[in-house]
Amino acid sequence: MIQHMQSMNRRTFLAASAGLAAAPVLAHDGIHSVFNGVLIGAQSYSFRDREIGAAIEGMKDVGIGECEMWMGHMEKGKGGRQGAAREDLRKWRMSVDLAEFEKVGGMFAHAGIEIFAYNYSFRDDFTDGEIERGFEMAKALGAKCITASSNVTTAMRIDKFAKKAKMQVGVHNHSRIRPNEFATPEDFDKARKGTSNIAINLDIGHFVAAGFDPVDYITQHHDDIVTLHLKDRKENQGENTVFGMGDTPIIEVLHLLRENKYKIPANIEYEYKGEDTLAEVRKCFQYCKTALEM
């Protein structure tokens, strides 16, 4: 079992975290959610229960100044993954006016929140046009890179368009260990072999659930990681939990970023079963802030 929070009793830590006031929002140049050198942001999937405008307001209310934007916030109701719905989604992606993305990017900017990455999950069934379109969408939003829950075999195709767009793509891991999916260090190695713009979007909770140590992996591969997803999960394909109640070494990861000055955005991805979304994301945010002040 991965041991964490050795320097502080778990209950003491959680009590301190719950008692903190909301992080300060600075008026100049947007919201500053950097604590002791570590940028704490959010995957907008955390706010999947609301439309993008309300999600932005939620991030602003919590004090989150950086976002990895989930493609579902742009694609909701536009189609699906199979059959005729899949073709509808493809047609929408290829025909949508990029001004819609520019408008959303402007909403984030007005709220003082940076869109660091657009989460656009390339899969093997994507046409080349759909792959290239993802980079156009990301640029219209103002994102610096793309993250993707992709297939390992898609990486070489993605890389061609990533190089053309001069953007990195961080491939995202889940805990399921299956052929052609990302879960293990070896999966990352296979995808990155022979490519130049394929990087890593490491989900530390899923990594632990799959049996791997994120602290060790980040130490060895920090230069290859564009973003982190912060969540807590139990080992052995265990469930998502409230931050601090699982086996994921969130505190140690944040300390690693702080002490080594790794400039990797650490994005909260709220997935456990909680009550009010805004309240739960705030708890996650305060947990991280407390950890970085230890």
1 domain-assigned: no
Range with lowest mean pLDDT among 79-88, 90-99, 126-135, 156-165: 79-88
Question: What does the mean pLDDT of the chain come to?
Answer: 92
175 domain-assigned: yes
4 domain-assigned: no
219 domain-assigned: yes
Total domains present in the chain:
1
- pTM of the full predicted structure? 0.90
Q: Is the pLDDT of residue 39 over 70?
A: yes
How much is the pLDDT for 89? Answer: 97
- What average pLDDT does the segment 125-151 reach? 98
* Cα–Cα nearest to 101, from 52, 54, 67: 52
2 domain-assigned: no
How much is the pLDDT for 116? Answer: 98
How much is the pLDDT for 165? Answer: 98
- Look up the domain containing 114 and give its range: 10-293
5 domain-assigned: no
How much is the pLDDT for 56? Answer: 98
- How far is 211 from 272, CA to CA, in rounded Å? 19
Q: Report residue 23's pLDDT band, with 50, 70 and 90 as the boundaries.
A: very low
- What average pLDDT does the segment 216-231 reach? 98
259 domain-assigned: yes
Distances (CA, A) of 28 to 22, 24, 110, 112, 240: 18, 12, 12, 9, 36
Q: Is the pLDDT of residue 5 over 80?
A: no
Cα R_g (the chain), whole angstroms: 18
Residue 52, domain CATH:
3.20.20.150
86 domain-assigned: yes
Residues 6+ apart with CB under 8 A from 190: 152, 155
pLDDT tens digits for 235-247? 999 999 999 999 9
